A = this chain, B = another copy of it.
Amino acid sequence: MILTDSLLDFFLETRKHSEDICSPLETEDYVVQPVVDVSPPKWHLGHTTWFFEEFILKPHASDYTEFNEDFSFVFNSYYETVGKRVVRSDRGNLSRPSVKKVYEYREYVTEGIKGFFQESQSKELNALLEIGIHHEKQHQELLLTDIKFILGNNPLLPVYSKAFQDHPVETHQQDWISVEAGIYEIGHTAEDFCYDNELGRHKVYLQSYEISNRLVTNGEYLEFINDSGYGRFDLWHAEGWDWVNQNQVSAPLYWHEVEGEWYHYTAQGLQKIDSNAPVTHISYFEAFAYAQWKGLRLPTEFEWEAAQAFFPWGKRWEWTESAYLPYPNYKKADGALGEYNGKFMVNQKVLRGGSVATPAKHTRHTYRNFFHPQLRWQFTGIRLAK
C-alpha cells in the first residue's frame, strides 16, 4: 500500500496535470463535441472531479456538502449504478456549467479530498483514491486526443502548442525479434496499481513467431497508399471495406494532400509528413489491411506482452489482432466500479503500449487498452509480426 502522503502528492500532481493540458485552450475550445467519441474538455474536467465526489466524498466523508446536485446528472459518463445521466451525444450541447464554474468545482473537490485524506486513512479508501487518480490519468490521454480532434477538425486549423511534439522519429533500424514456441505467463503480478482486466496472471501457449522491433513509418505507409491500398477489397475485412467506402477514407486521419504533397495536422499545426516518423491515427481496419498488403500480420496481445522487453514502445498505441476478452478467472468489482471494464468486452480490439498522449506513470507492459476497430483519433500505430 502506498503511504497516504505520497498518494496525496500523486493526487495533487495529477489534478494539476489535467489543468496544464488545458492551459493553451480558449474558453470556446472547452465546449464542443464534433463527433460523439470526442467529449468537450470541460466535460473531462468535470467528470474526473465527479468521480472523486461520487465514489469517495459523498459515501465516505460524513460532513461533505455536494457542490451542486445537478452535476451528477451532467458529469456521470456511463455508470448505470449511479443513476440517470446526460446522453453521451449531448455533452457538446451544454454551455453550462461554465468553464469557470467547472474549475471552481475542481478546486472544491480537490480541497475536499485533501482535507478528508489528511484525517482519514484506510486501505480501502486509499485504493479508491488510487483508482480515481488512474481514472483521471486515463482521461488525460483522451483530453489531449479530444483537443487535437477539436482543433484539427476546425477549418482554421489552430495550433495547440508549439512545445508538444506528437511525431517523434524512431531512428533504429527495422529488425525481427524471434520468439520460441512455449508457455508464457501473461498478466499483472507486481504490487503496484493495475486495472481488473490485467489481473489473473495465467499461462498461454505461443507458437514460435517473429515481431518487429520498430513501428511502421509514414514513409512505409505511403507506399501502401500509392499502391492503391485503399482501393483493393482483398486486403480488407468486409466491415473494413464498407467503412472505407462509406466514409471515403483514403489516408490516415488528419492527413491532407495539398498540391501533390502530403501534410498532416499536428499539435504544432499543419506540417509536412516526416517519412521516418511512425504512422499514426489509423484504424484497426487500416492496420490489418496494411499488414495484409505486406504479406504479414499484426501480433496478438500475448505475443506483444511476451516480447515487449526486447523493443522500445510507448509512443503509439499498437493495434493487436486480439479481441478484447476477459482473462481466465476474470472477476469484475462489485458495484459501480464493476462497470469500469467488463461491460465493454465485446466488439473491441486490444491495443498495447502507450502513446505520446499517455501521462507519466500511466502505462505498463500489462496494460490493455481497447477501442472499436474503426476509431482513429487516438495515437494508434502498427507493429508487424510473422
Contact = CB atoms under 8 A, between A and B. Distances in A.
A256 to B, nearest CB: 15
A32 B34 contact: no
B347 A239 contact: yes
Nearest to A80: B233
A60 interface: no
A174 interface: no
A106 B334 CA distance: 56
Interface in A359-382: 373
A234 B78 CA distance: 12
A236 interface: yes
Contacts of A30: 28, 95
A242 to B, nearest CB: 11
Interface size class of A (residues with CB under 8 A): 35 or more
A349 to B, nearest CB: 8
Q: Which of A26, A99, A150, A349 has its CB near the most chain B CB atoms (within 10 A)?
A: A26
A198 interface: no
A92 B93 contact: yes
B70 A155 contact: yes
A112 interface: no
A153 B86 contact: no
Interface stretch (A50-58, A117-125, A199-207): A199-207
Q: Which of A154, A321, A322, A338 has its CB near the most chain B CB atoms (within 10 A)?
A: A154
Contact of A238 (B74, B96, B97, B344): B344
A314 interface: no
A71 to B, nearest CB: 9
Contact of A325 (B29, B183, B322): B322
A29 B99 CA distance: 11
A145 interface: no
Q: Which of A97, A99, A241 has its CB near the most chain B CB atoms (within 10 A)?
A: A97
Given A81-B234, A233-B80, A344-B237, A95 B207 contact: no
Contact of A93 (B32, B86, B95, B209): B32
A70 B238 contact: no
A373 B27 CA distance: 37
Q: Which of A31, A70, A345 has its CB near the most chain B CB atoms (within 10 A)?
A: A31
Contacts of A31: 28, 31-32, 95
A258 to B, nearest CB: 15
B203 A96 contact: no
Interface in A16-71: 26-34, 42, 70
Given A158-B96, A343-B238, A28 B26 contact: no
A326 interface: yes
A328 interface: yes
Q: Which of A153, A323, A338 has its CB near the most chain B CB atoms (within 10 A)?
A: A323
Interface in A269-294: 284-285, 288
Interface in A95-128: 95-99
A304 B185 CA distance: 22
Contact of A94 (B32, B96, B97, B343): B32
Q: Which of A28, A97, A156, A239 has its CB near the most chain B CB atoms (within 10 A)?
A: A28
30 contacts: A26-B95, A27-B27, A27-B28, A27-B98, A28-B30, A28-B99, A31-B32, A31-B95, A34-B90, A34-B93, A70-B155, A70-B156, A74-B156, A80-B241, A94-B154, A96-B156, A181-B203, A183-B205, A202-B207, A203-B205, A205-B205, A207-B328, A207-B329, A234-B339, A238-B343, A241-B343, A288-B346, A322-B325, A323-B325, A347-B373
Q: What are the 4 closest A-B residue pairs judged by CB atoms, nearest first?
A: A323-B323, A34-B93, A205-B205, A28-B95
